[in-house]
A and B are shown apart, each in its own frame.
Chain A
Amino acid sequence: MAVSRLNLANTGKHPVTKGPDFFLFKSDARYAYAVGRIRSLENRYLTRQDIERLIATEESEEAYRFLVEKGYAEGEPKVKTWSDLESCLRIQRQEVLALISTLSKDTSISDLFRERYDFHNLKVLLKARYSGQNLEHLLIDVGTVPVEILTEAVTDDDYRSSPQFISNTVQVVNTRWEKTNNPQLIDILTDGEMYKRFSLVIRPFGNRFLNRWLDLEIDLANIKTLVRVKWLDLDTALLTQSLIEGGSIKETELFPLRETPWETVASFFSKTRYAKTVATGTDALLKSDSFLPLEKMADVTLISYLERAKVQSLGIEPLVAYLLLKEYEFKAVRTVLVGKANHLPAELMRNKLPEYP
C-alpha cells in the first residue's frame, strides 16, 4: 500500500510540483529512530477500502470496533452514537501530537503544531469574555498551554504564566476590540498572529521543506480568502485585514484581484503552481455555489507536497508530514461519521469525501 501511495504523485491524482527533492531535504541523523517509527505508522493510514468499509457500517458500535481495529482511541468507554465517535478522533489527534512531541528533537517545531490549539482556545476565551457567554465546552486541551492556565490568564488578564505569543495576541486583539467591537476581528487577528508565530519559528529554523510548506499553507489560505471575499462581495478592507503576510505571493498583488473579473483571477494564477486549484475551484464555485472543489484542490496541493517527505530518510520532515497528513485522514473519517449521524446516503458521502493521504 505504501508503494502505491508513493506513486500517487505520478498517477495524475495529485499534481507534481516541479523541482528536485534533494534540494528540499537535508539529512539529520538525530531522527533515525523517529523516521523509522513514522514509516511503520505510515503503513496504518486508512486506505480507500477502509473508508469504504466505514461507510458500509450499519451501526455506530460496528464503526467503533472498526476504528479501534485501525488504532483509533481504544478503550473510549462512552461510544454509543455516531456523534460520540468524533471523540475517537480527538483522542487520536491527541495521541499523534504527543507522539510527534516525543519523537521530535526540535521541540520548537513540534510544539508549533500544538500551539494551533492554543490560538483556538484563545479565540474561544476572548469571545467568551467579550460576549459574556460560557464557551468552556469549545476548548480543546491539546495545546502547549493547559486550558485551565489559559482560562485563568484570560479571566484575570494576567499573562505572566503564559508564553509571549499569547500575551502579544491578546494585546493585538484587545486594542482592535476597543476601537471596533467587531467579533470577526478576534478570529482574523488571532489567525494572523498564529501565522506570524509560524513564520517566526519556521523561517529562522532554515528547513526548506517546512519553509515551502508554510508558503503553500499561507498562499492557499490567502487564495481561499480572496475567493470567498470576492464571491460574497465583502468589503475590500476586510480582505486587507484577512490576508496573511509571509506567503510566496505578496498580499499587495492579491488586493487588486478583489475588483477584477473572475477570468482575471484565474489568469493571474495561471503562471503559478496554484493555476489548477484556482481555475477548477472558481469554475465550480460559479457553476454550483460550492466551495468544496476549491478546498479539495487546495488540499490536493498540500497533500501532494507533504507526501514528498516520504523520500526523506533522516530529518524532521517525515514527522511533520505525518502529523499534517493525519489531519487529512481525520477529516475523511469525520466526513463519514458526521454523514452517518445525519443519515446521508453513501453515494453523497463519497462525493463529499475530502482528499486524504
Chain B
Amino acid sequence: MKLQVSATRMELLRLKKRLDLARRGHKLLKDKQDELMRQLLDLIETLRDLRTKAEEQLQDVYRSFLAARLWTDEQMLEEALSFPRKVVDLQVQERRIMNLRVPVLKPRLEGDIYCYGFAHTSGELDACLKKLDSVLEDMVKLSEAEKTLRLLADEIERTRRRVNALEYILIPNLQQTIKYIEMRLEEIELETLTRLMRVKKIIRGE
C-alpha cells in the first residue's frame, strides 16, 4: 500500500533513506531472531533434562512422604513439619541474551531441613526430606530455565512480528511509494518538457 506522501524529490530521498534503514533493520532483526531461535533450541534440550530429573526426584519425594503419611496421624505429621528451620534465600540477578534480560537465580540455603524430633515420626519422613533437600537446587535451576524459556519465546514472537512487519508491510510500502514518486516525478518532468516544447513552438510563431 502506498504511503500518503507528496511526490517530491525531497520526499523521495527521505523515503529511500528510510528504505535503506528498514532493510538494515530487517537484516539485524532476522539475525537476532535466528540467534534467539538457536538459544531457545539449546535451552529446550537442557530444560527437558532438568524437568525429567526434577520430576523423577519429586515423584520419589512424594512416594516417601506418602509412606510417612500412611503410618502417621495427620495432625502429628503436620505438627512435626509446622516449624521449619531451613531458610531458602533467593537472590535474583540478570544476564542478557541478545539484549533480552533473563533472570539468574542464586539460592542460598541455610539451616537444617530436619525440624522435628525422632521419637514420634517415621524414618520415611527423613528419607522424604533428604530427597527434597537434594532436589531444591535443581528446582531453582529448573524455574530459572523455564522463566528464561518463556522470556525467549516472547522475545522471538515479538521479533518475528517486527521482522514480518518490515518484510511484508513497511519495506513493500516504501518500495511502492518510492516507485510511485519516481513515476510521478518522471511524469512531471515529461509534462514540463512537453510544455516547454509547446511554448517554444508558440514563440517561433508556428
Q: Which residues of A contact B (CB under 8 A)?
A: 86, 120, 123-124, 127-128, 130-131, 133, 135, 137-140, 182-184, 186-188, 190-191, 194-195, 221, 224-225, 227-229, 231-232, 234, 242, 244, 285, 289-292, 294-295, 331, 334-335, 338-339, 342, 344, 352, 354
Contact = CB atoms under 8 A, between A and B. Distances in A.
Contact of A135 (B73, B82, B85): B82
Nearest to A232: B126
B185 to A, nearest CB: 79
Contacts of B66: 338, 342, 344
B79 A127 contact: yes
B112 interface: yes
B124 interface: yes
Contacts of A225: 118-119
B53 interface: no
B118 A242 contact: yes
Given A184-B112, A242-B117, A138 B127 contact: no
Nearest to A119: B120
Contact of A191 (B67, B73, B119, B127): B119
B168 interface: no
Nearest to A218: B119
Contacts of B114: 184, 232, 234
Contacts of A290: 67, 124, 127
- Which of A127, A187, A335 has the most chain B CB atoms closer than 10 A to its own CB? A187
Contacts of B83: 127, 130-131, 133, 183, 186
A22 to B, nearest CB: 32
A135 B69 CA distance: 19
Which secondary structure characterizes the binding site on chain A? Answer: helix
Interface in B68-87: 69-71, 73-76, 78-80, 82-85
A292 B68 CA distance: 9
A106 to B, nearest CB: 25
A138 B75 contact: yes
A296 to B, nearest CB: 9
Nearest to B111: A182
Contacts of A224: 118, 123
B69 A184 contact: no
Contact of A231 (B73, B76, B79, B126): B126
Nearest to A233: B130
A295 B71 contact: yes
30 contacts: A120-B120, A128-B82, A133-B82, A135-B79, A137-B75, A138-B78, A139-B75, A140-B75, A183-B85, A184-B116, A187-B119, A187-B120, A188-B118, A190-B117, A195-B119, A231-B126, A234-B112, A242-B117, A290-B67, A291-B122, A291-B123, A294-B123, A295-B123, A334-B71, A334-B73, A338-B69, A338-B70, A339-B70, A342-B66, A344-B66
Contacts of A294: 123
Nearest to A229: B118
Nearest to A293: B123
Contacts of B122: 291, 295
A257 B179 CA distance: 92
A86 B76 CA distance: 13
